[in-house]
C-alpha cells in the first residue's frame, strides 16, 4: 500500500544492460556514500558474462550473501552450455528466500537502502533483489515502563519483523491481517497495520487508513511522529491513541476489536481506538484474580482524583473556606504556617515544581541511583524547607501524597500534571467554586472527546451490564462473554465458558 508522502523524482533514471554504466549511475545516486559496496562475481563456465552485487555494508547479513548468493552463483553449471539468463539465475541458482526481478528504479533503490542485495548481470537491464537483510538489533527484554509482577516478560524492540513475529506467536490465526506502508520521504520507514479481520470495527479501520494518507513528513523516527498527526483533538492533554511495548497487550487489544500500528525502529506500538478508562488499566489486571485486580484499579482511579485535586482543594479550604475545616485542624495549620513568607498557593506551586524536578531528574539517572536521588532529595529538601520556614509541614504532606498518587498512574502523567496546576490556579482565584468550575469544564471536555469516532468516555455511560464488566472493576473471565459493542460488531467471544 503506497503512501502519498513518497518522494517524487524529478528525473527517472533508466538502467541499461551494461554493468559499468549501471555502476556509474548508482555511484552518482549514492554520491559520497562510502558504505555502498560493489562486489564483482564471475562464473568459470561463463567467463564472458559479468555479475555484480550491490549492497550497503552493515545492512546485510554477510553469511547469507556468501552462502546464498555468491557461492551458488560461482558454482552453478548449466545443463545446456551457453544458456544462461536472469530467470535461470532467479529460479535455479539463488538460494535466497525472496527473489524479485524488476527494472523499477524506485524498487531497486529501496531494496538497497532496506538492506537487500541487488544482483546485476551483463546483458540485462533488469535487476534481482535478494533478501539478505541482517543488521543487529536489541535483544528481547521486559519494557522498563511496563514491568509486571505476573505475566509475560517480553517486550518489543526496534526490529519491525521481529515485533510482528512476537505478535503472531500470540495470535496464531489467518484472521490476523498485516498491511504495510512506508512513511517519510527521506527515511522511508516501514510501518504495519495489524487487526483481526472478523473482529475489527471496519469504520475505525477505514478512518485510520484515511488519516495515514493525509500527512507528509521527510522522516519518521518514532511512532509518536505518526501519533501527533493522526490523533483527535491535537491540543488536548488527553491521549486518543494508545501506546504499549508489550506483545500481550497488543494481542489483547486486537482481540477486543482494536487496531495496532507498528513502526520500524520504534518499540512503541500505537493502538486505536483509545478509551479514557485504559489509562487506569494495568497489564497484570488480567493475570491476577479479578477481586484483587479490581481493588488495584479502583485505587488508581482514586489516585487520579488525589493527584489532580488535593492541592487545589487544600488551597481553596485554607484560603477561602477555613470555616469548613474543624477548629482544631484550622489552628494546627495556622500554627504550622507561622513565619512562612509565601501565600498558600505560591507555597503549593513551589513544592509541586520541586517535586516534578526531582522526579524528572530521577527518571533520567541510571537505575537505583535515580530512585535514591528522588527519595533522598525529597526528604532532605522537604525537611530543610520546613525548618527554614519556606513552606509549612502540612504542605509537604499534601505535595507528598499528591506525588505518590501521580506515580500510580504513569499512563496519564502529562495530563495529570496539567490538570493539577490548572485546578490549583482556579481554586486560588475562586476557591471551591473555581475548583468546581474547572472540574465541570474537564468533564465537558472529556465527554466531547472522540478517538476515531468512538467517544473516549463511552464506558462511562455504558447501558448494559456486559459493557460495564471491565471499567472500574474487572469482572471474572467467565462473565466477559461479549466484547464491548462500541469496539467490535462481532460481540461474542468464542472462548467464553459454556453455560450449564
Question: Both 297 and 193 in a single domain?
Answer: no
Question: Both 174 and 93 in a single domain?
Answer: no
Question: Both 316 and 391 in a single domain?
Answer: yes
Residue ranges in 201-337 assigned as alpha helix (H): 202-212, 223-230, 247-255, 290-319, 327-336
pLDDT for 463: 66
Question: Both 43 and 99 in a single domain?
Answer: yes
pLDDT for 489: 67
Question: Both 177 and 126 in a single domain?
Answer: no
Asked if residue 136 is part of any domain, the answer here is no
Asked if residue 211 is part of any domain, the answer here is yes
Task: Name the domain boundary from 87, 113, 130.
Answer: 130
Question: What is the spatial distance between Cα 393 and Cα 397, in angstroms, rounded to a whole number?
Answer: 7
Question: What is the spatial distance between Cα 423 and Cα 309, in angstroms, rounded to a whole number?
Answer: 7
Mutual orientation of helices 432-447 and 413-430 as an angle, nearest 10°?
A: 140
Asked if residue 147 is part of any domain, the answer here is no
Question: Both 429 and 310 in a single domain?
Answer: yes
pLDDT for 6: 40
Instruction: Give the list of residues 6+ apart from residue 282 with CB closer than 8 angstroms, or none.
Output: 148, 293, 296, 297, 300
Per-position pLDDT tens, the chain of length 500: 444 444 444 456 788 888 889 999 999 888 888 889 999 998 888 888 889 999 998 888 888 888 888 998 888 887 766 577 888 888 888 888 888 898 888 889 988 988 899 999 988 888 999 998 877 777 788 888 888 888 888 899 988 889 999 999 999 989 999 999 999 888 889 999 999 988 898 999 999 999 999 888 888 999 999 999 999 988 999 999 999 999 999 999 999 889 999 999 899 999 999 999 999 988 888 888 888 888 989 999 999 999 999 999 999 999 898 888 888 888 888 888 888 888 989 999 998 998 888 888 777 776 666 666 666 777 788 888 888 888 888 998 999 899 889 888 988 999 999 999 999 999 999 999 999 999 999 999 999 999 998 899 887 776 666 667 778 788 787 777 777 776 776 666 654 344 43
| Integer CA distances (angstroms), 463 to 135, 193, 297, 441, 460, in order | 52, 31, 21, 24, 9
Asked if residue 190 is part of any domain, the answer here is yes
249: helix, strand or coil:
helix
Is residue 424 left, alpha or beta, with left meaning phi > 0 and alpha meaning psi from -120 to 50?
A: alpha
Can you read off the three cell numbers belonging to residue 85?
539468463
Asked if residue 374 is part of any domain, the answer here is yes
Can you read off the three cell numbers belonging to residue 226?
505518526
Which has the closest alpha carbon to 254: 164, 180, 182? 164
Can you read off the three cell numbers belonging to residue 309?
485535586
pLDDT for 311: 94
Question: Both 305 and 446 in a single domain?
Answer: yes
Q: Alpha-carbon Rg of the chain, whole angstroms?
A: 30
Which has the closest alpha carbon to 268: 242, 302, 244? 244
In the chain, how many H helices and how many E strands? 16, 12
Which residues constitute the domain of residue 211?
160-274
Asked if residue 223 is part of any domain, the answer here is yes
Question: Both 248 and 181 in a single domain?
Answer: yes
Which has the closest alpha carbon to 421: 360, 350, 357, 361? 350
- Overall number of domains in the chain: 3
Which DSSP symbol is given to 22? H
With cell 489486571, the residue in question is 285
Task: Name the domain boundary from 229, 245, 274.
Answer: 274
Question: What is the spatial distance between Cα 160 and Cα 231, in angstroms, rounded to a whole number?
Answer: 22
Residue 478 and residue 496 in contact, taking contact as beta carbons nearer than 8 Å = yes
Residue 280 and residue 269 in contact, taking contact as beta carbons nearer than 8 Å = no
Question: Both 300 and 261 in a single domain?
Answer: no
Which has the closest alpha carbon to 131: 114, 146, 144? 114
Can you read off the three cell numbers belonging to residue 289?
484474580
Question: Both 393 and 423 in a single domain?
Answer: yes
Asked if residue 419 is part of any domain, the answer here is yes
- CA 286, 291, 293, 298 torsion-angle sign: positive
Question: Both 253 and 362 in a single domain?
Answer: no
pLDDT for 494: 53
Question: Both 334 and 432 in a single domain?
Answer: yes
Amino acid at each position: 500500500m503506497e503512501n502519498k508522502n513518497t518522494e517524487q523524482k524529478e528525473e527517472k533514471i533508466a538502467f541499461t544492460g551494461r554493468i559499468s554504466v549501471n555502476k556509474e549511475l548508482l555511484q552518482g545516486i549514492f554520491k559520497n556514500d562510502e558504505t555502498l559496496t560493489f562486489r564483482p562475481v564471475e562464473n568459470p563456465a561463463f567467463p564472458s558474462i559479468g555479475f555484480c552485487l550491490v549492497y550497503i555494508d552493515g545492512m546485510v547479513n554477510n553469511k547469507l550473501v556468501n552462502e546464498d548468493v555468491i557461492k551458488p552463483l560461482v558454482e552453478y553449471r548449466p545443463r545446456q552450455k551457453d544458456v544462461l539468463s536472469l530467470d535461470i539465475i532467479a529460479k535455479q541458482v539463488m538460494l535466497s528466500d525472496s527473489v524479485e526481478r524488476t527494472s523499477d528504479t524506485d524498487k531497486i533503490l529501496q531494496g538497497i537502502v532496506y538492506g537487500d542485495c541487488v544482483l546485476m548481470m551483463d546483458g540485462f537491464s533488469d535487476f534481482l533483489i535478494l533478501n539478505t537483510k541482517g543488521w543487529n538489533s536489541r535483544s528481547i527484554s521486559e519494557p522498563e515502563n511496563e514491568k509486571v509482577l505476573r505475566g509475560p516478560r517480553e517486550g518489543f524492540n526496534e526490529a519491525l519483523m521481529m515485533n510482528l513475529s512476537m505478535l503472531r506467536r500470540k495470535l496464531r490465526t489467518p484472521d490476523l491481517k498485516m498491511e504495510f506502508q512506508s512513511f517519510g520521504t527521506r527515511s522511508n520507514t516501514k510501518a504495519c497495520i495489524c487487526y483481526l479481520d472478523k473482529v475489527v470495527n471496519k469504520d475505525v479501520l477505514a478512518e485510520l487508513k484515511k488519516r495515514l494518507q493525509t500527512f507528509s513528513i521527510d522522516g519518521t523516527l518514532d511512532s509518536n511522529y505518526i501519533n501527533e498527526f493522526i490523533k483527535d483533538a491535537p491540543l488536548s492533554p488527553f491521549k486518543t491513541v494508545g501506546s504499549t511495548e508489550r506483545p500481550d497487550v497488543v494481542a489483547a487489544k486486537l482481540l477486543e476489536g482494536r487496531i495496532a500500528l507498528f513502526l520500524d525502529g520504534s518499540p512503541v506500538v500505537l493502538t486505536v481506538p483509545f478509551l479514557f478508562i485504559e489509562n487506569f488499566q494495568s497489564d497484570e489486571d488480567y493475570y491476577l484474580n479479578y477481586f484483587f485486580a479490581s481493588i488495584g484499579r479502583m485505587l488508581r482511579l482514586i489516585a487520579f482524583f488525589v493527584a489532580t485535586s488535593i492541592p487545589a482543594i487544600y488551597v481553596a479550604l485554607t484560603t477561602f473556606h477555613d470555616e469548613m475545616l474543624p477548629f482544631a485542624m484550622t489552628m494546627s495549620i495556622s500554627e504550622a504556617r507561622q513565619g512562612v513568607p509565601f501565600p498558600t498557593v505560591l507555597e503549593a506551586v513551589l513544592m509541586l515544581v520541586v517535586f516534578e524536578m526531582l522526579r524528572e531528574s530521577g527518571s533520567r539517572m541510571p537505575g537505583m541511583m535515580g530512585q535514591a536521588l528522588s527519595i533522598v532529595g525529597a526528604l532532605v529538601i522537604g525537611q530543610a524547607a520546613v525548618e527554614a520556614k519556606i513552606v509549612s509541614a502540612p504542605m509537604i504532606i499534601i505535595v507528598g501524597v499528591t506525588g505518590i498518587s501521580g506515580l500510580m498512574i504513569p499512563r496519564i502523567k502529562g495530563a495529570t500534571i496539567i490538570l493539577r496546576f490548572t485546578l490549583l490556579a482556579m481554586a486560588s482565584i475562586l476557591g471551591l467554586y473555581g475548583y468546581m468550575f474547572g472540574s465541570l469544564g474537564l468533564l465537558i471536555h472529556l465527554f466531547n472527546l472522540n478517538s476515531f469516532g468512538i467517544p473516549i468516555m463511552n464506558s462511562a455511560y455504558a447501558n448494559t451490564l456486559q459493557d460495564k464488566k471491565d471499567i472500574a472493576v474487572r469482572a471474572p473471565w467467565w462473565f466477559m462473554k461479549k466484547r464491548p459493542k462500541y469496539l467490535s460488531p462481532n460481540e461474542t467471544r468464542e472462548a467464553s465458558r459454556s453455560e450449564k
